[in-house]
Structures are given as structure tokens and as C-alpha cells.
Amino acid sequence: MSDKPVRVRFAPSPTGPLHMGGVRTALYNYLFAKKNNGTFLIRIEDTDQTRFVPGAQDYIMDALKWCGIMPTEGPGLGGEYGPYVQSERKEMYQPYAERLVQEDKAYYAFDTAEELELMRERAKQMGMPNWQYNHVTRTSLKNSLTLPQDQVEELLANNTPYVIRMKMPRNRDIRFEDIIRGWVTVNTNNLDDKVLFKSDGMPTYHLANIVDDHLMKISHVIRGEEWLPSAPLHVMLYEAFGWDCPQFAHLPLLLRPDGNGKLSKRDGDRLGFPVFPTDWTTAEGELYSGYREKGYHHQAFINMLAFLGWNPGTHQEIFSLDELCEAFTLDRVSKAGAKFDPDKTKWFQQQYLRSTPNEDLAAQLSEVLENKYDVSRLTTVCHLMKERATFIQDIATEGAYLLERPTSYDEQTVSKKWKEDTSVLMTEWKNNLEGLSTFDHDSVENAFKSFLEAKGMGIGAVLPNFRLLITGTGMGPSMFEIAAFLGKEECLERMNQGLTKIEALKNQA
Ligand code: GLU
């Protein structure tokens, strides 16, 4: 790596919400910057005003914040290379385009949209469906290369609309080394003369992107594979300006779970999982769901995203953001498309719950439960329930009986396990519990074992009914832990309530 300070950017266009592929690009930029003591900035690329979507920029910033991967320079964040929104830099670009025209590396093109459409149509009729404005066709079109100088000046003086196009040299091999893909070679004969500056006075993505990356001293361009075809033009532009080219790293595509094609915005929800980090509501009121609102913790989401195209080269799969920053290198990013796996995503969330200290989970649970309960009690609730849960919300619903008495009793367990003599048996067991002087996990377990022995009964005939009385459910974590957590008095009261209610149910049946 060169000794230039590492400066990387995430450069989204505010054309809608940030797809998870976009979040992954931001994440890899963030990790790369952290790993190399560099700077991660965000630049909003809004030169295509026709595709501007109100609210998208706020959405992007909010999503990055939720993920915990905020840039340190960007709109609203400060930084010495601003403004960081391209429409606010509008005036800067034209002189660069003009400079290329002056140096014969670009030219004015006056062809109207209709004229170009006609050319395309004609070419199609002649069996050439991919007509391009390029080193061949430009010689017979309306531009400053073909028109006499005075006519060009007149057209400009009359404010005739024009665009500025790149003058691609003929038959030159452009070579650059992509950190992920290795050497890439493209012959300029296969490239068209891209528009750099539009008739509406705005630069195109290509020009603005290069000028800004240069002015913002970007050292590495880390972006999605869909930009790889543009990279040769970008390399040519750096050369044309006489600027150092940043290093490129084009990230592999995110593929649908079946591996069939790119995971697109439209796949969201349709395939049963979100493709956005957070909820997004369109101007028409249509809701696209996000991971945050589905109950994912940002750490699990980030952990999952990191592995879509990268691996640490070890068996470790669970990483905190700090650990990712430490482990991340671009040379472990693969070329092959990364298949998105919704089940694995859930798995990351489960692992997150399992590996997070109960105290931390309790704080989250407390929020879900609107701070109604004592956090130290919630810590035990998390300890008891987290192995069976995927989301914090699951702990709240499935562990509700740990905080409130049951209001119903699982019908299946009642009909299968509650026999004629169960009430008598459970009353006897209750009396045993009442007599205990200490009431913790071990004492309840020991008492239970002695009770079974005395009765000559197996666990299966007694434990499910004990659980039913205390929790209303047929399954769950250790009953002895639950009993110890609730305490003697609460257990006895629940058993009394349960005995009455289940008897009533049985009599109804
Ligand atoms: N504005 C481009 C996008 O929307 C950025 C491409 C790049 O990073 O160069 O993805």
C-alpha cells in the first residue's frame, strides 16, 4: 500500500432507500478506514436531478447511524473538503470539463436527443442494435471535432444546447490493477465517448465522481461491481487530468438466495425478508420493511453483511464491529458473487443474543417493555429465555409469564397431561413446596426428586403439570430455575390460581 493517508468514501446517489448491498459497501469502506487509521467520508452524488428522491439522504444517514458506521466527514458532519453534496458543488465541475476540451481530450457535441435517436434507429435497421457515440461515429456527427471552428463558436455564442463528451483515444489498452479482481485490461475501441457535462449545466456522474475523488484526496475507491465497466473511463479521466489514480476495489455482487441473479430492491419482502436496513415508506405510502424494525440488532446485521463477500480466513464467525475493524482486509474479499442467505441472517441474530451479556440484553428488553419492570429481574429473564429466542421481542412474548401470571393454560398440555388425579397430586406437591425453608434451584430440584421417588412416578407425569400451573405453557427453560426466580410465595399463588382454573376448564370439557 502507498504511504498516502487512507481516505475512502461512500458515495450513494439519493435515488431511494439504501439497499443492503449499499450498506455493505459503506461497511467495507468503514472497516478499511478503521483498519488503516484512515478517514471514512460520505459524499452524496445527486447530479442526476431526475432521479432525486426526497427523504433518501436522511434515510441513508439514519441507516448508517443505526448500523454504527458513521463517516467522520460528510453533509452535516463537517470536514475540510466540503461541501459533500454534489449539487452544492455544481459550479466546480464545468471548468474541469472545459479544460479537457481545450486540451483536445474532450469535445462539444451539439446533436439533439432526436438526432441521436434517429441514428440509433437507423443503425438498428441496419442490424446494429448497439449504436454508440464513439471514436468512429463521432467523425460524422455534430460536434466540435467535425464542425469548423467559427461554427462551433457561433453555436456556443447562440446558447445552443451542448454536452461535453470524452474523446476516447483509438485502440489503446487501458490497464489497471483492481485490489479484488486483479489486472483489468480494456481496449478503448470498445468504449464510447461518454458525456461528461450535460446540457442542463450539471456534470455527469463520471466527471463529478473523478473530480471529487481527486479534490477529496480519496486513496481507495471501494464500490460495487456494477461500477467496474466505468472504471476504465475513470482511469482515462485521471490520466487526462494528469492526476494520480486512486486504487480500485470492486466488491462482488449480492445474489438472491437461489443464486439466480442480483439481489434487487424489488426482491425485498417478496422473497420473505427485508433488503433494506430500516423501514422505508414511499411517497405513495408503500412500506418496504427493514431489519431494524423486524427486530434485528445492528450488530447482528453488520456481522451478517461483513460475511457477504468477505471471510477472516479462520472459523470465527461472530464478530463485534471492533473485531471486524481489526480483522478486515480487502485481499480476503472474494471475486465471486455472494449469495444472500436469510436463514443465516437469523442465525447471526440468534448468535448475537446468545453471546451478548444478559445485562445488555436486559437494557434492550426494558425498552421494548417500556421500562415497566426492574432491570435486574429482566436480566434473569434474558438469561432464562435467550437460548430459545431469536429477537429481543421473542423474549418479551415468550417470557411474558416470568413477569406476569399466566392468563391462559395451553390446551394441548391440559388435555394430554392433566389426568383425573392430577389436581390431588399437584396439591400435594404444592404442600411440599410450601414446607421448604430455602427456595432456590437446588432445594426445589431436590424436593422434586424426593417427591417423584415417594410417589414412584416419572418426570413426564409431574413436571409438565407443574410447568402448566406456574407458566401456563407446555415447554420452556428449567422449571427449577423458573421457580427460584419467581420465589416461593409467587409460585404458591400461581399454583392455587392454576389449580382452580384448570379444574374449571376440565369441568367444562
Ligand atoms: N453514486 C454512485 C452510486 O450511487 C457511486 C459509485 C462510486 O462509488 O463511484 O453507487
Centroid of ligand 1 to alpha carbon of 68 (angstroms)? 21
pLDDT of residue 426: 97
What is the amino acid identity at position 138?
R
Per-residue pLDDT tens digits for 160-172: 999 999 999 999 9
With 0-12 / 13-18 / 19 or more C-beta atoms within 10 angstroms meaning exposed / middle / buried, residue 123 is middle
Give the burial string for 316-333 (b: 16+ CB within 10 Å, else e): eeebebeebbebbebeeb
Centroid of ligand 1 to alpha carbon of 148 (angstroms)? 37
Rg of the chain, C-alpha, whole Å? 33
CATH of segment(s) 405-508? 1.10.10.350
Task: Give the DSSP per-residue string, 476-498.
Answer: -S-HHHHHHHH-HHHHHHHHHHH
Per-residue pLDDT tens digits for 280-302: 999 999 999 999 999 999 999 99
> Class of 280-355 per CATH?
mainly alpha
In the numeric block, which cell numbers belong to residue 352?
A: 448475537
Ligand 1 atom closest to Cα of 45?
Answer: 1
Whole-angstrom distance, CA of residue 453 vs CA of residue 345: 46
Confidence of residue 265 (pLDDT cuts 50, 70, 90): confident
**Cβ < 6 Å from ligand 1: which residues?**
11-13, 45, 205, 209, 223, 227
Q: Are 107 and 139 in contact (CB under 8 A)?
A: no
Centroid of ligand 1 to alpha carbon of 206 (angstroms)? 9
Ligand 1 atom closest to Cα of 223?
Answer: 8
Whole-angstrom distance, CA of residue 487 vs CA of residue 477: 16
Ligand 1 atom closest to Cα of 234?
Answer: 9
What number of CA atoms fall less than 13 Å from residue 278's CA on the CB side? 12
Per-residue pLDDT tens digits for 213-247: 999 999 999 999 999 999 999 999 999 999 999 99
For a ligand 1 pocket test, name from 28, 41, 45 the mutation site with the most ligand atoms within 8 angstroms of its C-beta: 45
Mean pLDDT of 16-45: 97
The residue whose CA is least distant from atom 5 of ligand 1 is: 11
Total residues found in the chain within this entry? 509
Whole-angstrom distance, CA of residue 489 vs CA of residue 486: 8
Quick one: residue 464, left, alpha or beta (phi over 0 = left, psi -120 to 50 = alpha)? alpha
Q: What share of the chain is helix, strand, coil (3-state, %, to 5)?
A: 50, 10, 35
Distance of CA 355 to the CA centre of its chain: 21
Give percent of the chain above pLDDT 70.
100
Confidence of residue 2 (pLDDT cuts 50, 70, 90): low
In the numeric block, which cell numbers belong to residue 108?
A: 462539444
Q: Cα–Cα distances in Å, from 451 out to 21, 281, 447, 457, 465? A: 59, 59, 6, 9, 14
Residue 182: strand, helix, or coil: strand
For a ligand 1 pocket test, name from 205, 207, 214, 248 the mutation site with the most ligand atoms within 8 angstroms of its C-beta: 205
In the numeric block, which cell numbers belong to residue 198?
A: 450535460
pLDDT of residue 366: 98
Instruction: Pick the catalytic residue from 265, 294, 344, 346.
Output: 265
User: Is it the case that residue 264 has pLDDT exceeding 90?
Assistant: no
Per-residue pLDDT tens digits for 315-365: 999 999 999 999 999 999 999 999 999 999 999 999 999 999 999 999 999
Confidence of residue 369 (pLDDT cuts 50, 70, 90): very high
Pairing of strands 254-255, 338-339: parallel
pLDDT of residue 267: 82
In the numeric block, which cell numbers belong to residue 456?
A: 414412584
CATH of segment(s) 7-75+209-254? 3.40.50.620
Ligand 1 atom closest to Cα of 205?
Answer: 1
Whole-angstrom distance, CA of residue 258 vs CA of residue 270: 14
pLDDT of residue 1: 52
For a ligand 1 pocket test, name from 8, 13, 222, 230 the mutation site with the most ligand atoms within 8 angstroms of its C-beta: 13
Centroid of ligand 1 to alpha carbon of 43 (angstroms)? 9
Confidence of residue 506 (pLDDT cuts 50, 70, 90): confident
**∠ CA(153), CA(166), CA(238), 5° rounding?**
125
Centroid of ligand 1 to alpha carbon of 23 (angstroms)? 12
Q: Which CATH number fits domain 92-207: 3.60.15.10, 3.30.56.10, 3.90.800.10, 3.60.70.12?
A: 3.90.800.10
Inter-helix orientation angle 20-35/298-306, to 10°: 80
pLDDT of residue 254: 95
Of the candidates 49, 66, 47, the residue with the CA atom closest to the CA atom of residue 58: 66
Per-residue pLDDT tens digits for 170-179: 999 999 999 9
When the pLDDT of each residue in the chain is averaged and rounded to a whole number, the result is: 96
265 is a catalytic site residue: yes
In the numeric block, which cell numbers belong to residue 42?
A: 460520505
Per-residue pLDDT tens digits for 119-155: 999 999 999 999 999 999 999 999 999 999 999 999 9
Whole-angstrom distance, CA of residue 134 vs CA of residue 193: 5
Per-residue pLDDT tens digits for 372-429: 999 999 999 999 999 999 999 999 999 999 999 999 999 999 999 999 999 999 999 9
Question: For the chain, which residues make up each domain, given as ranges?
Answer: 7-75+209-254, 92-207, 280-355, 357-398, 405-508
Pairing of strands 163-166, 106-109: antiparallel
Q: Name the pTM for this structure.
A: 0.92
